[in-house]
Amino acid sequence: MTVDAALTQAFRSGWARIVATLIRTTGDWDLAEECTQDAFARATEVWPRDGVPDAPVAWLTTVARNRAFDRLRRATTEASKLKEVAAAPAVEEVAVDDDLPDDRLRLMFTCCHPALPLEGRVALTLRTVAGLTTAEIARMFLVPEPTMAKRLVRAKHKIRAAGIPFRVPPPHLRAERLSGVLAVVYLLFTEGYAATRGDDLLRRGLCEEAIRLSRVLATLMPDESEVLGLAALLLLQDSRRDARVDADGRIVTLEEQDRSRWDARAIGEGRALLARTRAAGPYVLQARIATCHAAAPTAASTDWRRIAGLYGQLAELARSPVVALNRAVAVGMAEGPEAGLTLVAELEGSGALQGNHLLPAVKADLLRRLGHADEARTSYEEAHALARNQPERDHLARRTAELGTPT
């Protein structure tokens, strides 16, 4: 392995662990990040000269810990922290592989604490858990770097000042807090997945980070169905990334996608994770729906009845209008457009999705399939006016054009 490859691998597997261990032992987030960064900088100097150490992450942990130790020793006012570092477990205990995974979990739960604003949770997770730089995160979220830096400073300050504990929550808080962690990872993914164009390519990195985080969580909490479900869901959705946009950046619907371009390896990994789940929570159900698509060799062979049933279960767990709309689509496929339109009419009546282009877009598709071209056209035009991004507007315009001229 080249030094560069070794560094990349050590960064991927080591960053969060080293930062988390240093936070636990020093209680100082900035110190932990800076010393971890210093250790990687040191590695880029030493490894090309002396060779890659046998246990790269252990090597980095030692360097980072010594650096933290030095800095705390110099800061005489922080004598109490020094004691904690000295009492920290020996390097061999903390560094090797997954022997002590708890620190990373602690880090994730703390970064996603509900007392932090959502944007702070997201930023902190990317910075301290994923190890992205402030500049990278700022570019991904399309905000100026100083804005992102301020967000991170505020979040870290609140952790310290408000006394947010660095720990895995006790059992009675576990379920609620875990869903908060999963929500942040899912948000990272959807932020990245929405990107379809070349100039958005950087945002693709968000999907990769989200998948990586979900895999780490699945390793650390192998018995939590929702954790496995989230990882499976992300992998299954991501398996279609190359097929959902054509060479000109146009949206290709699930129905029209070239299924040979789906990532079979990602699908396989997702299905294997899903097979290990027991309870059917929201992420597990969504992953099962994604599997139905992945398992169908052609669009026509999709098991829409099963998908409609799964959306029904999901709707009972999460009273979300978007879930209700997806259920209408599935029912429209399983039982015919009229049945789908009945559900769409209910949603229209509730007013829950007013102003969202998806509702008229779904309605238009159902009307088109019924052969009601004029009504479909009106709904497509309504959706077009509400759609926020260009690929979606183009897609809706093409659909309208396919209906032919008004009668």
Q: Which residues of this protein are in contact with other proteins, per CB under 8 A?
A: 113, 115, 161-165, 169, 173
Give me the least distance between CB of 34 and other proteins, in Å please.
20
Give me the least distance between CB of 161 and other proteins, in Å please.
6
* Cross-strand pairs, 245: 251
Residue 145: exposure state from Cβ atoms within 10 A (0-12, 13-18, ≥19): middle
- 306 close to 294: Cβ distance less than 8 angstroms: no
Q: Which is nearer to other proteins, 63 or 164 (CB)?
A: 164
Max distance between CA atoms of the chain, in angstroms, equals 84
Q: Which is nearer to other proteins, 51 or 165 (CB)?
A: 165
Give me the least distance between CB of 403 and other proteins, in Å please.
50
Kindly state the DSSP code that residue 133 receives in the 8-state scheme.
Answer: -
Q: Which is nearer to other proteins, 96 or 115 (CB)?
A: 115
Q: Which is nearer to other proteins, 163 or 371 (CB)?
A: 163
Nearest Cα to 237, choosing from 213, 216, 208? 208
Give me the least distance between CB of 186 and other proteins, in Å please.
23
Give me the least distance between CB of 103 and other proteins, in Å please.
17
Q: Which is nearer to other proteins, 71 or 113 (CB)?
A: 113
Which residues have CB under 8 Å from 103's CB, separation 6+? 17, 20, 21, 23, 24, 94
Rounded to the nearest 10 degrees, what angle do helices 321-335 and 337-350 cross at? 160
Q: Which is nearer to other proteins, 162 or 175 (CB)?
A: 162
Give me the least distance between CB of 351 and other proteins, in Å please.
25
Q: Which is nearer to other proteins, 177 or 203 (CB)?
A: 177
CA distance 323 to 320: 5
Q: Which is nearer to other proteins, 173 or 385 (CB)?
A: 173
CA distance 212 to 132: 13
Per-residue burial over 15-52, b if 16 or more Cβ lie within 10 Å, else e, is bbbbbbbbbbbbbbbebbbbbbbbbbeebeeebeeeeb
Give me the least distance between CB of 230 and other proteins, in Å please.
24
Q: Cα–Cα–Cα angle for 258, 261, 263, nearest 5°?
A: 135
Give me the least distance between CB of 169 and other proteins, in Å please.
7
Terminal CA-CA length for the chain: 67
In total, the chain counts a number of residues equal to: 407
Joined together, the tokens standing for residue 276 give 């290990």
